[in-house]
């Protein structure tokens, strides 16, 4: 799908509240940008956190798979990534965590990391959408009279971008502000010299977007990209879990966890990112269900999809889909299901089936993430304990 400030909970609805204030936001930012001075960027702190080891045992694994509700059991269906399986359906009930980032807070945060345009050099485009794109760039820090050049990625908008889209870029891009963790990619600078083309700067990861990287590994000729083993994929999952644990400790709900919102380098280090520009760069991953909100329908928990309720448990559900993406090397979840039918399908108990070559233990974990009752889903700390044990067990056979 960063803070020692007031808690932020990322939800799609909260961003559209910010969008509603788009014009006021642009005016306020314009005034503040002229008064902001260059601040020294913060040094990322690598945190190592120990957690209690308590593997989840909430739900038994079901092995039967279905393509449709009326399709009889067929062993050949198991091979399809897009086939479904049915779980026992039950009602949802749990406290919901919601929080809105006020425009005044957003403006203050932007001011703290604002830099002048001359400090940012833009190079080639890495990804491009309809109204936004990501470039490789260089951030120049001239503190202590010594110019330090840091390779970076820069998110910005095109001439076609509306004020609403600019406001959404800023609101979503600042979501990871102030978070320091080895598995989270924070925003490190913002340039507001041109309020119609803000520049959001992040540390550079040389393999880029995780979803695109996984797809390259799946389709590329042998030797031209990484050959990913199960142990590599589990290691990536561990890093995502550790990043999510840290976000939740900071009272931040991601709300859009997916491989498209992660980045990776050539050593397979993974960092979670915000979802700024994701709707534009990955349009097939987002759908509008007639409510004027473009949402990641096929990654959302049932309660998020039906009630727009987001919590740590809904992030766990999204992680289950993200894990499925990892094990399929970037395949599209529920690709045969119409977005308008997702709520009904999930209520009827249908879930993604076990990917080819996915160990039973990992699929069991996915199924736990997709349990309807929030309190029955594993926490990220429990997921971490399981993954660490599973990773160590895989190492015995290598």
Where does the pLDDT of residue 103 fall: very low under 50, low under 70, confident under 90, or very high at 90 and above? confident
Q: Is 164 a catalytic residue?
A: no
> Concatenated DSSP letters for 361-396?
HHHHHHHHHT-SSGGGSPPHHHHHHHHHHHHHHHHT
Where does the pLDDT of residue 21 fall: very low under 50, low under 70, confident under 90, or very high at 90 and above? very low
Reading phi first (left if > 0) and then psi (alpha if -120 to 50, else beta), residue 246 is in alpha
pLDDT of 52 over the 70 cut: no
Where does the pLDDT of residue 147 fall: very low under 50, low under 70, confident under 90, or very high at 90 and above? confident
pLDDT of 166 over the 70 cut: yes
- The Cα–Cα gap between 336 and 345 comes to 12
**pTM of the prediction?**
0.77
Pick the catalytic residue from 142, 164, 232, 256: 256
Find all residues with CB under 8 Å of 163, minimum gap 6, and list them. 22, 23, 26
pLDDT of 78 over the 90 cut: no
Mean per-residue pLDDT, 306-326: 97
Q: Are 373 and 92 in contact (CB under 8 A)?
A: yes
Q: Rounded mean pLDDT of the chain?
A: 79
pLDDT of 329 over the 80 cut: yes
pLDDT at 307: 94
Q: At what angle do helices 163-173 and 103-112 cross, to 10 degrees?
A: 70
Burial class of 395 by CB neighbour count within 10 A (0 to 12, 13 to 18, 19+): exposed
- The Cα–Cα gap between 136 and 248 comes to 30
Q: Are 225 and 288 in contact (CB under 8 A)?
A: no
Who wins on pLDDT, 76 or 322?
A: 322
Q: Which domains does the chain have, with CATH numbers?
A: 12-46+101-203 (3.30.200.20), 75-98+207-395 (1.10.510.10)
For the chain, how many residues are written? Answer: 398
pLDDT at 73: 30
Find all residues with CB under 8 Å of 222, minimum gap 6, and list them. none
pLDDT at 50: 33
Who wins on pLDDT, 93 or 351?
A: 351
pLDDT in tens, 209-254: 999 999 999 887 655 567 899 999 999 999 999 999 999 999 999 9
pLDDT in tens, 333-366: 999 999 999 999 999 999 999 999 999 999 999 9
Q: Which stretch of 34-38, 160-164, 178-182, 226-230 has the lowest confidence by average pLDDT?
A: 34-38
The CA-to-CA distance between both ends of the chain, in Å, stands at: 33
């Amino acid at each position: 799908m960063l803070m020692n400030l007031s808690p932020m909970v990322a939800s799609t609805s909260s961003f559209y509240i910010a969008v509603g204030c788009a014009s006021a936001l642009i005016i306020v930012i314009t005034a503040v940008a002229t008064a902001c001075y260059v601040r020294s960027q913060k040094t990322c702190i690598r945190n190592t956190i120990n957690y209690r080891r308590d593997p989840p045992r909430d739900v038994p694994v079901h092995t039967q798979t279905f393509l449709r509700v009326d399709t009889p059991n067929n062993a050949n269906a198991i091979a399809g990534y897009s086939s479904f399986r049915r779980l026992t359906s039950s009602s949802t009930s749990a406290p919901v965590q919601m929080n809105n980032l006020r425009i005044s807070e957003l403006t203050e945060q932007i001011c703290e990391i604002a830099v002048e345009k001359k400090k940012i050099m833009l190079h080639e485009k890495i990804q491009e959408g309809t109204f936004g794109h990501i470039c490789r760039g260089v951030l120049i820090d001239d503190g202590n009279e010594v110019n330090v050049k840091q390779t970076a990625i820069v998110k910005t908008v095109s001439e076609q971008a509306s004020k609403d889209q600019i406001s959404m870029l800023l609101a979503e891009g600042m979501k990871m502000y102030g978070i320091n963790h080895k598995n989270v990619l924070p925003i490190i600078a913002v340039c507001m010299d041109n309020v119609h083309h803000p520049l959001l700067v992040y540390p550079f990861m040389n393999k880029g977007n995780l979803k695109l990287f996984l797809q390259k590994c799946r389709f590329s000729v042998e030797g031209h990209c990484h050959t990913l083993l199960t142990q590599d994929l589990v290691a990536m999952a561990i890093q995502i879990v550790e990043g999510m644990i840290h976000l939740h400790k900071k009272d931040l709900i991601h709300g859009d966890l997916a491989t498209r919102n992660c980045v990776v380098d050539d050593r397979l280090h993974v960092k979670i990112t915000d979802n700024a520009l994701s709707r534009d760069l990955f349009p097939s991953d987002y759908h509008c269900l007639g409510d004027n909100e473009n949402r990641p329908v096929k990654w959302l928990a049932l309660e998020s999809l039906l009630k727009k309720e987001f919590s740590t448990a809904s992030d766990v559900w999204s992680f289950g889909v993200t894990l499925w993406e990892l094990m399929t090397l970037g395949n599209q979840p529920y690709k045969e299901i119409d977005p308008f039918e997702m709520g009904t399908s999930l209520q009827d108990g249908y879930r993604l089936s076990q990917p080819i070559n996915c160990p039973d233990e990992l699929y069991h974990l996915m199924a736990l993430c997709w349990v309807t009752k929030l309190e029955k889903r594993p926490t990220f700390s429990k997921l971490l304990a399981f993954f660490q044990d599973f990773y160590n067990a895989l190492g015995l056979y290598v």
